[in-house]
Structures are given as C-alpha cells and as structure tokens.
Structure 1
C-alpha cells in the first residue's frame, strides 16, 4: 500500500515538475518576445499608420479597398474575401519554388518557359509543402528587423508568430502576382490588377521589401535566365508611375518606390535617392516663411508673369527667369490624390528633412486657389486633368495642402 502511495506521489511530483517547466518555458518565450518588441531598433521604422490629423481629411486615401498587405489592415472585414486568394497564391508559390529546385532533376522540362507555364501540373500531393519550413526558417532570423520596420505601438495587437505568418503569406502573394503579370499568366482582369496595384502603394499597406528580396532570392535566385530580379518585377508592375528607362537601385517598400520614381534624375540616369537635399544641410534650418505671401497663378499672371510648360518630365524642374515661370506638365487622374497623400505621409514621417513632394504640393496649392487659377494652368498646358472640371482641380490642391507642414 505504501509503495502504491509512493508511486502516486512520485508521479504527482513529476507532473508538477513538468508543469513548472512548461510554465517557465512559456514565461521565457513571453519575456523574450517582450524584450524583442521593446528593443531600440538600430534604424528608424519605415512603415507607418497615418495620424488622425492627416486621415480625417480623406480617410479613403489611406485604406486598401481590395487587398490587405502586412499587419495594419489584416483584420479589415471588408478585405477578408482576398484571404482565400492569398493562400491559393501561397500554394502556387510553393509549387513554383519546389519545381524550380527540381529543375536539374527534371529533364522533361526542356524548355524553361514551358516549366514556368505548366504550374497547373500537380506535384505529388503535399510535396511542395516541404519548402514551407525552409521559408519560415529564412524569416525567423529577421523577425526583429521586420517588427522594427513598423512604427512604435502599431503592432501591439499581434504576436511575432502571427506577424511572420502574415508576412510570408503576403510576400508569396505579391511575388506570384508579379510573376503572373510578367509572364502574362495572370487570370486577373485589368480592373482587378489596377485596384490591387493602388492598394500596394498605400503607406499603411506595406511589408519591408528586404523580406520579399530574401524569399525571392532563396526560391528563384539560382535561375536568373528564367526569373528577373524582384526589383525588376516591381518596377515593371508599377511602370504606370515610373519611367522604365530610369534605374531604381533600392527601396524600403512600394510607397518608397513611388516616391523615388518622382525624385530628380541624376546624370547617370538614376533617381536621386537623397531627395535632392543633403540631410545634414537641412536638419537645423530655420523655417522659411519667404513664400508666406506667394500670390496665386491669376494674380501673378496679372502682374506680368508668363506661365510656360517645361519639357522636363521631373515635376521639380521649376524655374523662374523673369518674367517667365516654367513648370513641367502635371497629369491629374482619379488616383492622383491617393498617390500624393501617401507619398506625402511617408515624407512627413520618414523624410522630414527631404519633403520634396510636400513642397511641390504646397507650391501648387499657393498657385491654385480658385477654378480660374486652375483654368489658367490648364490653358498653358501645365496641367492636364481628367477630373471633369477646373473647380475639382482647385479643390484637389486646396485639400492636399491641408495640415501639411
């Protein structure tokens, strides 16, 4: 009887010991995660949630309408329908990565392009899932950099594990979207592609570009004769907003790419990644109020200023040699406000000493106060618009300049 009691007591003690070990392990994981979250990043974040001061002017300009990318809009109920599509793209990405790794073992894929276009041919059930662990393992060492890419307090609603899952699924979706677009295999309509493209440019709807680079390089980097780089695919997908002849060297994410596309061009054909303003020169500048009383376009015209359209494609090539004011042509479309707002938000948060886009918008806001000002610039071919009326052009710039410092 005593022996039985001793056995039961020993079993109970062992169970308590195991429970204690589990509790300590869970506590250790929680503490490690808390330390990682609170660690001061060696670099500033690059993905931000827009403050209410900016958002209240036009909430729709910062909110995705078709697909959420990254953690900030992941729980948006209006976008849940795309989650199934994302996992379909993830499976397609895993299939493509698995088949790419097997290319040397598959002599029947004589034509590399035949390989690319035949992804509907199923692998052995589940075989393509074997590389899922490899990609998760690739993300794990960079989880701190991924977390710190988002502004403080923006990720308090999720765990690191959830963040990595979101990042992997969304990265695979983007990679497959770009490859389908490049190889002309996409089943999406032009309207769907345009809608997704716009969502991918929103500042709150981003994931760090280095994550996509790492995953893409791991999956397809060994076959540059088949696959372009992810940077090349990105520039191709966003070509409507970029001069394809210009060279983009790097980016933090797609909103940053959009800003870079509008920066001045250097002599060697590259975009000026410094924004045209050395950071050290502008850090301690006193506020410049010399333009506080800048007159509108019609007032300047009445005073003898001649408005001419510049042949330059860079919006910042504005020159004034009395009495001629030359301004490059600006094409205004329905999505112009969304583009400007998100790039301006990025500048306010991430490039506070290099606010070239903000400065340009404020200049245009000074010039365009009324529909008559807009009409003058349209007449001089400095502005072309699809908004429907000059009054809408004036309203666009008057609202864009609101709450911008």
Structure 2
C-alpha cells in the first residue's frame, strides 16, 4: 500500500520547465517560482527534497510526521503576538491576514502546482510566515546576545542539532513561501534592528556564505524570490567574473574558429592530472562560492619550477586555480540538490549552480582528487573520509541537463595549459625536483656540483697537452 502511494506521488512530479526567461522586473507572480522537484531528480535521492521536521507553505502541509512542529508553530505565533503589545500593534496579525486574503490569487500563482488542502490557504501562509519571522528574530537576538524576548527553554534555538535541521528544511525548493509575502509582514511591524528583512534572513542563513566580501551589500541583490533563491544569488559573483558568452556570434568569422574551440570546452582533466601538469590549487578568501579563477603570468608561467621559492614573487611563477572554500557536511548535498532543481525549473538559461557542480565533478573522479583539494583547503568537510566527498560530488550531476557553461573561459585556459608539452615538462620538473624548499635547495646544490665538476674537467683537459710536452 505504501508502494502504491509512493508511485502516485512520483506521478505528480513531472514538471513543465518554463521556456520563458524570468524577468525580475515583472510582478512576483508573473511566472511560478516555487516548483515540485522534477521526477528525474526526485527519484535519484528523495530524502534530499523532503522536509524532515517542518513544513512551510502548502506543498507538504498536513503530513503526519511533521505534526509535532505544526503544534510548535502556534506557540511561536503567540510569542510573536506578544512582541506587538509593547509596540501597540496587537491587531497587526488581523491586518496581515486581510492583506493575504486580498492577494491570495497572486500568492497562489507563485506555486507551479498546489495540492488539495484541508485547511485555508491563507491560514497556512499566515501561520508559516509568523513562525519564520519569530524564528529569525529569536536567532538574531541570540546571536546579538540580547536577552529580550529570549526563552532559555526555547525548543529550537537551544538545540543546535534541531536548529540546523530546521534551517535545512527552510532551504528546500518545495518548502517555500514567496519572499515578498514575508517582507510585507516585516514592513508592517517596522522592526528597527535589523532594518531590512534580507538582513534578518542573511543572519539566519549566514553559515552558507561565510566567505563573502566583508563590506558586501546583500541588499543590492536582484529580486529574491524565496530562501532557495537567496542562497543561489549569494553564491553568484558579478557578471564580469562569471558570464555566458554568445557562441552564435563567433561563427560569423572564420578567424574566430580557434577562439570558439577554446571557449566551447565542456570538460577538464581531474585535479590530480592538472596538478601533475604544474597547476596549483589555492584557497582564496572573500569571494563568492562560484568565483573560481585560473591565474597565470604570460612570461613567468613558463617557469613553473620556481614556484616553490620562499619569496613573495614566487607566486608569479605559478599557474593557480583560485578556489573559494567549499564546506561539506551532512546538509550540503541537500542544499546543492535543491539549488540545482530550482535552476533546472526556473533558470534553464543561467544554470550557474549546475555549472559549478559539473566543474567540481570534473575535477574530482577519485579519492586522490578529493584528497588533493582537501589538502589545499579548497574543500573542508565533516564527512568520514575523502572518498565520501568524491562519492557525494560524483552523484550530484545525475540527470542534470545543461547546454552551456559559465566556465568556458576557465576550462579553455586549463586545457590549453594541460596540452602544452613545455608546461608538462616544467610541471614534472617541479614535482620531482622542486616540490618543496628542501628538495629545491638540494637540486640547486646538485646543479652547482655538476657545473663545478664540468669546470674542473675542462681545466684538466685544457692543461693536459702542456704536461705531455
């Protein structure tokens, strides 16, 4: 019986990916932004798209295993109402409910598919919106060490494991409320600190982008649709660092065929092979996750063997992949899968996350590849072994379809480097004789002894005729 229910659930997960590109300047409900996960992705790992503790919005509402947290939502609603008493806004929730009723049609249109609901749609959105607001405020106050409105017996904030699991559930694609609905509630109350709801959301989900620029203004992000979209936008750097090129324009001139071939590369070698060719991996701070760059100097890059010298200028002799740190724990796979599913449905022409995962998948094929990136701190994980990291990465791209990549330039440069015989020779020389400072110094000593021996041999040969006469 359970099997038939599962089959029936899977049959409702076939989605029609919209062909029209989303325009952020349009009305929030001009196209759906909250989707059922495509069946092809859902069947790969169902648990990654299913809430464990709490349902948000109508798509998972009413599930029996989530009922305990449903009861807790009512307690959070009462706590939120108590916040309004000092502000003399006791009737604000009733006003907010009236706004939701007036915009019910617009909110419904944000969902690609709605199930049959036993409760009022407005009541579901109202309760979940208030719960999220109260949860975010409690976490913010706890981070600021503010004692006001904090209950030391709070069921969520005092239990880190539970708090992390709920944070994971709030990032699921099917477990979303439109962002503008939450922003309206926040504006009605006029909380002074923080002054913007995005700041509150960023504080709550801060774990997922801790390496961004310290002075970066997240309020300048494009229109955010929901929490899944917030994380995606926070990972994408500026267009000048990451962009798609129009390959059709390159076909107009035969002189650009070489350039087109250079940019249309769709794969790269593994991290171990690139490292054998003299490519170094370097962790960088204060960059967004997707901002991966390949840096090499036009002249110095041909002398890779000197990159190990203990001088600041030695970095100019390196061919470096600058890699923002990727944190991997038991929630990372879930979040990445939901970001991928969201892009497959909503951003088919701008699959930045899909391209990133595909790039990392190309770099990591075996345990040795993962071990190299972990050693360079490009990947920091809490899993049992480096092999588990490789297995996780290699499973993310199953049934993911993309027809372009934003890393075309990076891939072309890496392939050009890898296919250079001279740079391969320099890479081998560096790996064998210039791996570290001690081996480098012994190599120089050996070269000096060899030159000195040749010089002495030349002196002996030069003086030999004089001795004979």
- In which range does the TM-score fall when normalised by the shorter chain? 0.7 to 0.9
**Residue 90 (structure 2) pairs with residue 90 (structure 1):** no
| 5+ long unaligned stretches in structure 2 | 1-26, 143-149, 252-259, 302-317, 402-469
**Residue 320 (structure 2) pairs with residue 345 (structure 1):** no
Q: CA deviation at 1:183?
A: 2.5
**Residue 172 (structure 2) pairs with residue 176 (structure 1):** no
Q: What residue number does 1:44 align with?
A: 31
Whether the 8 Å contact between 1:87 and 1:169 is mirrored in structure 2 is yes
Q: What residue number does 1:365 align with?
A: 361
Q: What residue number does 2:216 align with?
A: 246
Identify the range of structure 1 (305-314 vs 68-77) with the bigger mean alpha-carbon deviation.
Answer: 305-314
Identify the range of structure 1 (61-70 vs 300-309) with the bigger mean alpha-carbon deviation.
Answer: 300-309
**Residue 109 (structure 2) pairs with residue 148 (structure 1):** yes
2:97 to 132, 136, 144: 136
Q: CA deviation at 1:395?
A: 0.4
Matches for 1:375-386 after TM superposition, within 5 Å? 375-386=371-382
Whether the 8 Å contact between 1:70 and 1:207 is mirrored in structure 2 is yes
> Structure 2: how far apart are the matches of 1:342 and 1:254?
11
Q: CA deviation at 1:138?
A: 1.2
Q: CA deviation at 1:332?
A: 1.9
Matches for 1:321-332 after TM superposition, within 5 Å? 321=296, 324-328=319-323, 329-332=325-328
Aligned residues: 326
Give the direction of change, closer, same or farther, for the CA distance of 1:56–1:208 in structure 2 (3 Å limit): same
Give the direction of change, closer, same or farther, for the CA distance of 1:90–1:381 in structure 2 (3 Å limit): closer
**Residue 117 (structure 2) pairs with residue 158 (structure 1):** yes
Q: What residue number does 1:237 align with?
A: 204
> Structure 1: how far apart are the matches of 2:201 and 2:100?
21
Q: Secondary structure of 2:59's partner?
A: coil
Which deviations, in whole Å up to 9, do the C-alpha atoms of 1:47-103 show, x marking residues without a partner?
A: 11101211112111111111110011112211011111111212222332344225x
**Residue 281 (structure 2) pairs with residue 294 (structure 1):** no
Pair member with larger Rg: 2
RMSD: 3.1
> Structure 2: how far apart are the matches of 1:283 and 1:59?
38
Which deviations, in whole Å up to 9, do the C-alpha atoms of 1:84-137 show, x marking residues without a partner?
A: 1111212222332344225xxxxxxxxxxxxxxxxxxxxxxxxx5x54432211
**Residue 152 (structure 2) pairs with residue 195 (structure 1):** no
Whether the 8 Å contact between 1:309 and 1:327 is mirrored in structure 2 is yes
> Structure 2: how far apart are the matches of 1:143 and 1:284?
45
Whether the 8 Å contact between 1:178 and 1:233 is mirrored in structure 2 is yes
Q: CA deviation at 1:281?
A: 5.5
Q: Secondary structure of 1:183's partner?
A: helix
Q: Secondary structure of 2:120's partner?
A: helix
1:204 to 161, 165, 174: 174
> Structure 2: how far apart are the matches of 1:214 and 1:307?
45
Q: TM-score, normalised on structure 1? A: 0.72
Q: What residue number does 2:288 align with?
A: 314
Which deviations, in whole Å up to 9, do the C-alpha atoms of 1:153-187 show, x marking residues without a partner?
A: x214238x721111000000011111222223151
Q: Secondary structure of 2:82's partner?
A: helix
Q: CA deviation at 1:229?
A: 2.9
> Structure 2: how far apart are the matches of 1:362 and 1:54?
15
1:56 to 7, 26, 43: 43
Whether the 8 Å contact between 1:298 and 1:373 is mirrored in structure 2 is yes
> Structure 2: how far apart are the matches of 1:325 and 1:361?
20
Q: CA deviation at 1:41?
A: 8.9
Q: What residue number does 1:213 align with?
A: 183
Whether the 8 Å contact between 2:236 and 2:288 is mirrored in structure 1 is yes
Which deviations, in whole Å up to 9, do the C-alpha atoms of 1:285-341 show, x marking residues without a partner?
A: 999994445322223333443333344532323215367241313222222111211
Whether the 8 Å contact between 2:35 and 2:173 is mirrored in structure 1 is yes
Whether the 8 Å contact between 1:333 and 1:385 is mirrored in structure 2 is yes
Q: CA deviation at 1:205?
A: 0.6
> Structure 1: how far apart are the matches of 2:267 and 2:224?
37
> Structure 2: how far apart are the matches of 1:208 and 1:283?
36
Q: TM-score, normalised on structure 2? A: 0.63
Give the direction of change, closer, same or farther, for the CA distance of 1:303–1:66 in structure 2 (3 Å limit): same
Whether the 8 Å contact between 1:41 and 1:148 is mirrored in structure 2 is no
> Structure 1: how far apart are the matches of 2:246 and 2:132?
38
